[in-house]
Chains A and B, each alone.
Chain A
Amino acid sequence: MKKVSLLVVISGVVVGLAALALTFMGNPANMGFCIACFLRDITGSVGMHAAAKVQYVRPEIIGLVLGACIAAIASGEFKAKSGSSPATRLVLGAFVMIGALTFLGCPLRMVLRLGGGDANALVGLIGFVIGVVIGVFFLKRGFSLKRAHAASVQEGSVMPLVSVGLLLLFILVPTLFKLSEEGPGSMHAPFFIALLIALVVGFLAQKSRLCMVGGIRDLILFKSFHLLVGFIAILVTVVIGNLILQKFSWGFAMQPIAHSNHLWNLLGMVLVGWGSVLLGGCPLRQLILAGEGNGDSAVTVFGMIIGAAFSHNFGLAGNPDSLNDAKELVVGGISTAGKVAVLIGFVVFVVISLLNLPKQQAAAETEKEAA
């Protein structure tokens, strides 16, 4: 096997093992890692939303950014750059987050959920692939968010410095933060162990360029399995781990922190897949790039934080399945406002996709639509 592919496989296995370990030590089920959920928890912990069950300073996010930063500095790859349509990226990041919180997970958690037997993640995966195909459709027609340019070191250091600041503040003045006393936000592995694990994963993810959307995108665009093997390695590791730990439970209803509203699971992940292709990487990859000096990815992460705040301040996020007093299944899903937000996301993505085509192409596409 080629050296680079082997690194991707090793990274995938380590991510899978790390996710199993974090869940075993206290993280919510099938949520060893979830970039969307964990950014949402951090957003709540700093008071940007008031959903009391999802507020915690997740060390996994801090560790991923700093692990990537350390790996990039150590190998001379830390390079400050920015200026590739940052405002557009912020909007894309916000709607990717709204889509992810509709489904209740980022692409990485989708794989972890699938590895735990959550069949809703299969629906999510179908939606994700559809979204990637739509994104690739525009890429093939010349979609581009234009070039980034070299930037100052301080510009490239924003996300690592914000991460260090958040870490120090949480260690030194924990009372500043809102922390869930029940619900997913209250479930977490020991802080410093989770931080250490995430540092290792961040380091490896930077080296291997692991990317959930990249795997499927590159298979379609270049018939390359290079990144997809990482995706598969995570899935296989988590399935085996859950079978050994007797945590594998196949089915749709009442899966941990998940709903079985198929249409909105699917549409949420279409939004995530499409947006991630336009952004050039999944939420995990955006964190890693932000750690290695990419200011545009830092802006994207800030967009995701804004999306998380919107999701919970306006009741857009998905609600898990539950049982009523008579122990009957109440299928979760999203509110009318959430459905409207996802649909607005599609409109916004169409506009962004068309407006960032080469000019002649955009005019032709618009004429075609009008006809």
Chain B
Amino acid sequence: MIDARGYSCPMPVMMVKKELDSHPDGKIEVMVDSRCSRDNIEIFAKSRGYSMEAVEEDGDYHLTLHK
């Protein structure tokens, strides 16, 4: 689980990119605390051929990325 809560742009996407680069076929779970980060990660994930599911939890977003 990547905890990217509290990090400003573009750190959350960079953290996800690093994980995707090292585990390209794995399922990745990420926590972010803003819609901006959620949207940025979704755009990036889609550009890499991943789909993303997002669930809001107490103002944070639990994201699941998978091929």
| A interface residue numbers (CB < 8 A to B) | 2, 4, 75, 77, 79, 81, 83-84, 139, 144-145, 147-150, 209, 211, 214, 217-218, 221-224, 226, 279-281, 296
Contact A224 B47 (CB under 8 A): yes
**Are B6 and A81 closer than 8 Å at their CB atoms?**
yes
CA gap between A144 and B14 in the complex, in Å: 11
Interface of B is mostly: helix
For B5, the closest partner residue in chain A by CB is: A147
Q: Mark B35-67, 1 if CB is under 8 A from A, else 0.
A: 110011001100100000000000100000000
B7 & A139 in contact (Cβ 8 Å cutoff):
no
A222 contacts B35, C-beta separation under 8 Å: no
CA distance A279 to B36 in the complex (A): 16
- In the complex, the chain B residue whose C-beta lies closest to that of A77 is B35
Q: Are A79 and B34 closer than 8 Å at their CB atoms?
A: yes
* B28 → chain A closest CB, angstroms: 16
Tell me, in angstroms, the Cα distance from A223 to B10 when the chains sit together.
Answer: 13
Interface of A is mostly: loop
Chain B residues with CB under 8 A of A148 = 6-8
B8 to A, closest residue via Cβ: A280
Contacts of A150 in B (CB 8 A): 33
User: A145-B8, A214-B9 are known contacts. Are A139 and B14 too (CB-CB below 8 A)?
Assistant: yes
**Chain A residues whose C-beta falls within 8 Å of the C-beta of B6 in the assembled complex:** 81, 83-84, 147-149
**Given A79-B33, A147-B5, A222-B47, is A4 in contact with B10 using a C-beta cutoff of 8 Å?**
no
Q: Which of A81, A147, A214 contacts B10 (CB 8 A)?
A: A214
Q: Which residues of A contact B43 (CB under 8 A)?
A: 2, 4, 224, 226
Instruction: Let me know if B36 and A221 touch, CB within 8 A.
Output: no
Do A224 and B44 touch across chains, with their CB atoms under 8 A apart? Answer: yes
Docked Cα-Cα span, A41 to B44, in Å, equals 39
Min CB distance B53 to A, Å, is: 17
- Chain A residues whose CB sits within 8 angstroms of the CB of B11 once the complex forms: 144, 280
- A147 neighbours in B (Cβ, 8 Å): 5-7
